[in-house]
């Protein structure tokens, strides 16, 4: 990368850092390891992302559990409220129901 | 399928879905309005490469407007006792239904959709076909303008009717579930057994709690509501969300109890989720998730020895408990089906060892079934037994037995309801209660009568000391039982005699613990003293926490008659009323009167 390009890149990073609501990239990973990528503003509710994911994989959003840092994502959570960073990962856990299916 | 306005657009070469804010969505919709003629009825194919404003228009057309929601669906905070009698649309029972294209119309709607809930719902199978990803969106591009139920073709609804039908189906299903719960509790409350007070208390929550209120408890997340609790008060299988909710209650209790084993940590399902996610041993060369990294740090910082957690046997769809001993380097299970020859899931054991050997020193051994646990007797109760295995191991809760099956469920229901009520807004936010509706007075009277009958029966055998707090032992539950000399001001009372305490203080030889099985057969139940009892006194509600077993619950077997003397602060002396509830850890001696020695075959009570 030339010096000029490096300077441009640094300037771009600074602009992003200043813009607290700049979109970040988030990866949603299923239990099987399948990945879906999203771009979301830091102030936008993650419930929108959850709905989009459910629509994309053709499942009822109510049957999917989304985890970030080991905790369930809630209705009001946003990337900013969870202190998410660019390229962070959200895990998907399909609801399990147990009794005994012999 | 519940779909929010969710949209994506193709970003460069890598497919990335763009989640737009509400304002951005409005802009995109305005853009579509200008270019509508280029896309509708022009043979355009709905695909990932279509402009985002077209996609947003389609998704927006299929989303139920907010104003329609309040008309079509019952409010989430309607008390369960009212919700079960709410009139909901009938569900078509026919197994044969017309081709899904018969649901589509190119004519504009004749209805705003506000009357959607007044006509029969199409079969779920038809709705699921209509909701096949991308199918309806393509029909919108092809020019459909409304949806109709072929059985009532004179009425055409907006396009979002399909989603509304789907959601109405889930409402109907939840009502059916709550009806089952109501019946289940009614049966339990009818039998004059030791379970009756628990059943009555659980019934009280049906009149206080909304049928579908959002949960804000540890372990809950988006879309989790109080309807989740309905799985508890019926003979049905247990969901992972409930397992987590119960585990987090145990974690809370473990964290707040200084007397229990500090070397032990209870973990939620996240732990096994992250462990099972590893594909090879090498995945643990570094902590593979943030959660596992934090857990490792915690384990080292607290010098934790035991990790205890629920495990799901995917093959059998079966819950069990597991313990890791980091000092002895063992992994062992507590499987309620071990007596049936069921082996713990091999993959879980293997992957746990990957993590343990990758992140901790030494070789670990997997031992099959060495945790104390109950034995399940049906196809549905494993989740309850698994949680009890954890509670027994961590907090010394009495071990699950068949005779306390229903009681265990009722108490957990009560515990989670209480936790939910505590976690939600204060009373000034106008939670609808049973007292606010004359419709429920008959039900209220019925419950009161049942409680009164119980009171009368017991008061004939026991006379309370005036002004003294009543300490009633928990029958089995690992969590503290709140006992009030007056109704808890934070909980709207149904009847002044609806708590366990109001049954009256237990006197020597005056109560015999009787449990009934599902067939109504009764048997004496061996009980031990609960791990903690909370006494709440007076209208302002100061709390005393008395650790009755002196902690070390898992050493309970050694106790025997030693349990007659326990630590409790100032016995019946309660702190003076204050405006702020407060807790006291009690440490002076009182005597627990064992009703009928020896303790090995009779329950223990304290007075």
Task: Say if CB B464 and CB B419 are below 8 A apart.
Answer: no
Q: Which of B214, B237, B277 sits opposite A97 (nearest CB)?
A: B237
Q: Does residue B541 carry a pLDDT above 50? A: no
Q: For residue B162, what are its two tokens?
A: 């399909």
Mutate to test the interface with A, among B2, B4, B19 (most CBs of A within 10 A): B19
Does A14 contact B at CB distance below 8 Å?
Answer: no
Task: Say if CB B302 and CB B371 are below 8 A apart.
Answer: no
Lowest mean pLDDT among B2-16, B41-55, B183-197, B291-305: B2-16
Cis upstream peptide for B598 (omega within 30°)? yes
* pLDDT score at B328: 96
Task: Say if CB B197 and CB B454 are below 8 A apart.
Answer: yes
CB contact under 8 A, A95 and B240: yes
Burial of B75 from C-beta contacts in 10 A (0-12 / 13-18 / 19+): middle
For residue B208, report the phi and psi dihedrals to the nearest 5 degrees.
-110, -30
Q: Which residues pair with B516 in a beta bridge?
A: B522
In angstroms, the CA B38 to CA B20 distance is 23
Q: Which strands form B104-105's sheet, in the order they lie side by side? A: B104-105, B146-148, B156-157
Provide CB contacts within 8 A for B241, sequence distance 6+.
A65, A95, B219, B220, B224, B228
Task: Say if CB B221 and CB A72 are below 8 A apart.
Answer: yes
List chain B residues with CB under 8 Å of A96.
Answer: 239-240, 269, 312, 314, 317
Q: Which of B2, B241, B291 sits opposite A70 (nearest CB)?
A: B291
Q: Does residue B257 carry a pLDDT above 60? A: yes
* Mean pLDDT for all residues in chain B: 73
List chain B residues with CB under 8 Å of A58.
Answer: 1, 132-133
Lowest mean pLDDT among B111-120, B253-262, B531-540: B531-540
Does A87 contact B at CB distance below 8 Å?
Answer: no
Does A82 contact B at CB distance below 8 Å?
Answer: no
The reported pTM is 0.71
Rounded to an integer, the average pLDDT of B417-428 is 81
Does A32 contact B at CB distance below 8 Å?
Answer: no
Rounded to an integer, the average pLDDT of B500-511 is 33
Hey, which residues 50-69 in chain A have their CB within 8 Å of chain B?
50-56, 58-62, 65-67, 69
Provide CB contacts within 8 A for B331, sequence distance 6+.
B322, B323, B324, B325, B349, B352, B353, B356, B364, B365, B366, B367
CA torsion sign for B6, B216, A63, B315 is positive
SS (H, E, C) B187-232: HHHHCCCCCHHHHHHHHHHHCCCECCCECCCCCCCCCCEHHHHHHC
List chain B residues with CB under 8 Å of A95.
Answer: 239-241
Q: Of B526, B532, B457, B465, nearest to B497 (Cα)? A: B457
B129 → chain A, closest CA residue:
A58
Parts of chain A with a pLDDT under 50 = 15-17, 101-102
Does A6 contact B at CB distance below 8 Å?
Answer: no
Q: Where are the alpha helices (DSSP H) in B334-381?
A: 346-359
pLDDT digits (tens, 9 = 90+) for B307-354: 999 999 999 999 999 999 999 999 999 999 999 999 989 999 999 999
List chain A residues with CB under 8 Å of B277.
Answer: 31, 33, 91
* pLDDT score at A33: 83
Q: Of B399, B411, B322, nearest to B557 (Cα)? A: B399
Rounded to an integer, the average pLDDT of B25-46 is 92
Count of pairs with CB atoms under 8 A, one residue in A, one in B: 178
List chain B residues with CB under 8 Å of A46.
Answer: 222
List chain A residues with CB under 8 Å of B18.
Answer: 23, 38-40
ipTM field: 0.80
pLDDT digits (tens, 9 = 90+) for B470-496: 333 333 333 333 233 333 333 333 333
Q: Which strands form A64-68's sheet, in the order they lie side by side? A: A71-72, A64-68, A88-94, A24-29, A35-40, B16-19
pLDDT digits (tens, 9 = 90+) for B520-540: 444 433 333 333 333 333 333
* pLDDT score at A11: 54
Task: Say if CB B237 and CB B383 are below 8 A apart.
Answer: yes
Rounded to an integer, the average pLDDT of B31-52 is 90
Task: Say if CB A69 and CB A82 are below 8 A apart.
Answer: yes
Task: Say if CB A95 and CB A64 are below 8 A apart.
Answer: yes
């Amino acid at each position: 990368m030339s010096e000029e390009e490096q300077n441009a890149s640094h300037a771009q990073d600074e602009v992003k850092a200043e813009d607290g609501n700049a979109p970040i990239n988030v990866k949603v990973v299923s239990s099987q390891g399948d990945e879906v990528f999203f771009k979301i503003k830091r102030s936008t509710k993650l419930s929108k992302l959850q709905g989009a994911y459910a629509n994309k994989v053709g499942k009822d959003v109510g049957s999917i559990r989304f985890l970030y840092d080991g905790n369930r994502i809630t209705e009001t959570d946003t990337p900013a409220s969870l202190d998410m960073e660019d390229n962070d990962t959200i895990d998907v856990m399909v609801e399990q129901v147990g009794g005994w299916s012999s | 399928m519940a779909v929010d306005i969710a949209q994506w657009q193709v970003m460069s070469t890598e497919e990335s879905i763009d989640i737009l804010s509400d304002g951005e969505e409005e802009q995109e919709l305005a853009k579509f309005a200008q270019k509508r003629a280029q896309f509708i009825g022009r043979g355009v194919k709905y695909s990932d490469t279509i402009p985002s404003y077209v996609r947003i228009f389609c998704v927006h057309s299929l989303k139920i407007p907010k104003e329609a929601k309040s008309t079509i669906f019952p409010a989430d905070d309607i008390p369960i006792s009212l919700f079960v009698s709410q009139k909901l649309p009938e569900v078509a029972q026919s197994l044969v239904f017309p081709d899904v294209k018969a649901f589509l119309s190119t004519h504009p709607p004749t209805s705003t959709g506000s009357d959607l809930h007044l006509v029969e719902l199409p079969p779920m199978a038809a709705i699921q076909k209509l909701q096949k990803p991308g199918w309806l969106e393509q029909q919108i591009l092809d020019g459909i303008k409304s949806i109709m139920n072929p059985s009532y073709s004179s009425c055409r609804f907006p396009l979002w009717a399909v989603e509304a039908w789907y959601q109405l189906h889930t409402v109907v299903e939840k009502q059916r579930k709550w009806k089952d719960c109501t019946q289940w509790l009614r049966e339990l409350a009818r039998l004059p057994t030791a379970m009756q007070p628990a059943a009555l208390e659980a019934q009280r929550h049906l009149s206080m709690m909304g049928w579908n209120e959002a949960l804000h408890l540890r372990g809950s997340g988006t879309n989790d509501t109080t309807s989740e609790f309905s799985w508890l008060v019926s003979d049905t299988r247990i969901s992972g969300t409930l397992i987590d909710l119960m585990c987090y209650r145990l974690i809370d209790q473990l964290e707040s109890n200084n007397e229990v084993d500090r070397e032990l940590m209870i973990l939620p399902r996240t732990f096994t989720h992250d462990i099972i996610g590893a594909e090879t041993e090498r995945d643990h060369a570094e902590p593979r998730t943030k959660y596992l990294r934090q857990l490792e740090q915690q384990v080292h910082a607290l010098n934790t020895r035991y990790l205890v957690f629920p495990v799901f046997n995917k093959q059998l769809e079966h819950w069990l408990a597991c313990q890791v001993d980091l000092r002895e380097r063992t992994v062992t299970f507590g499987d309620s089906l071990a007596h049936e020859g069921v082996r713990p899931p091999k993959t879980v054991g293997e992957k746990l060892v990957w993590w343990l050997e990758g992140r901790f020193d030494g070789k670990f051994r997997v031992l099959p079934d060495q945790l104390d646990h109950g034995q399940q007797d049906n196809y549905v109760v494993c989740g309850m037994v698994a949680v009890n295995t954890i509670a027994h191991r961590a907090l010394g809760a009495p071990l699950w037995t068949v005779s306390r099956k229903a009681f265990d469920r009722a108490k957990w229901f009560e515990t989670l309801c209480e936790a939910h009520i505590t976690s939600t807004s204060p009373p000034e936010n106008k939670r609808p209660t049973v007292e606010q509706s004359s419709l429920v007075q008959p039900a209220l009277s019925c419950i009161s009568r049942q409680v009164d009958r119980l009171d009368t029966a017991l008061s004939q055998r026991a006379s309370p000391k005036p002004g003294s707090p009543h300490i009633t032992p928990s029958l089995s539950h690992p969590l503290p039982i709140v006992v009030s000399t007056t109704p808890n001001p934070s909980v709207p009372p149904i009847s002044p005699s609806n708590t366990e305490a109001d049954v009256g203080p237990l006197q020597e030889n005056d109560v015999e613990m009787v449990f009934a099985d599902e067939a109504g057969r009764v048997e004496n139940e061996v009980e031990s003293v609960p791990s903690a009892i909370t006494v709440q006194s007076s209208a302002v509600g100061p709390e005393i926490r008395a650790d009755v077993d002196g902690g070390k619950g898992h050493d309970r077997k050694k106790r025997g008659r030693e349990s007659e003397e326990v630590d409790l602060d100032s016995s019946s002396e309660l702190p003076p009323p204050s405006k702020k509830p407060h807790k006291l850890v009690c440490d002076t001696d009182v005597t627990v009167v064992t009703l009928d020695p020896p303790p090995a075959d009779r329950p223990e009570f304290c007075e």
